[in-house]
Amino acid sequence: MFEAEAHGLGAMYETGTIRVPKPYKVGELPTGGSYIIMEFIEFGASRGNQSILGRKLAEMHKAGKSSKGFGFDVDNTIGSTPQINTWSSDWIQFYGEHRLGYQLKLASRQYGDSLIYERGQRLVKSIGKLFENVVIEPCLLHGDLWSGNISSDKNGEPVILDPACYYGHSEAEFGMSWCAGFGASFYNGYFEVMPKQPGFEERRDLYMLYHYLNHYNLFGSGYRSSAMSIIDDYLALLQA
């Protein structure tokens, strides 16, 4: 887990855009367990300026490109759930299989939830319609951007940490926005650098679905209704 975290922090650091703690070393402790050593950043009193955060995040997405397609050099974790990052040249296939599909299988195995699995798989087969006329480039994503992973340094510059990095569609970065408190100034700052693509609003819940499913698998049934509601709404919208 620490090796993958260091790999993600290093990739974000190398873009030279938004501030992240530089990773120095990971290893095993002689007494058992592991460690990660990273740059110490003294946090400021607030989460920083939302507009600057949006702009800096967009700059990272613009700078962090991959010639290998969608995925990452290592698998990592989203919370404590494994996140599979096998490279793919097809974003719709990658997101359907390694993001939504993986979580749906987990829910089926863990809870015997055949209903969410069956409806979710129907949705996975239909999501291509949501990406018509959209240019999807592999961008370096933080992958788990919620309020607990966003801060600022003592100069007020935004800092992001504790990533679940991979190269994916830039819009997938907003999948945890229901836990991030992003305001209008954040999105305005972001879209000044990375223009909004057609159908952005229609895809928004699709990217939240991955994280709602993960919360269902990690924390239990309190998140099931949110996930199921998104699935049912898309099945109706797409007539799937």
Q: If DSSP codes are grouped into helix, strand and coil, which group holds residue 40?
A: coil
Q: How far apart, in whole angstroms, are the C-alpha atoms of residue 95 and residue 71? A: 10
122: left (phi over 0), alpha (psi -120 to 50) or beta: alpha
Annotated catalytic residue 144: yes
Tokens representing residue 76 in the block: 């990592």
Is the separation of the CB atoms in 130 and 206 below 8 Å?
yes
Tokens representing residue 203 in the block: 């895809």
Catalytic residue among 73, 144, 153, 233: 144
Q: Please state, in angstroms and rounded to a whole number, the distance separating the CA atoms of residues 183 and 97.
A: 31
Cβ atoms of 4 and 158 closer than 8 Å: no
Q: Are 167 and 138 in contact (CB under 8 A)?
A: yes
Q: In Å, how far are 40, 92, 214, 221 from 226, measured between CA atoms?
A: 37, 22, 12, 10
Catalytic residues: 144
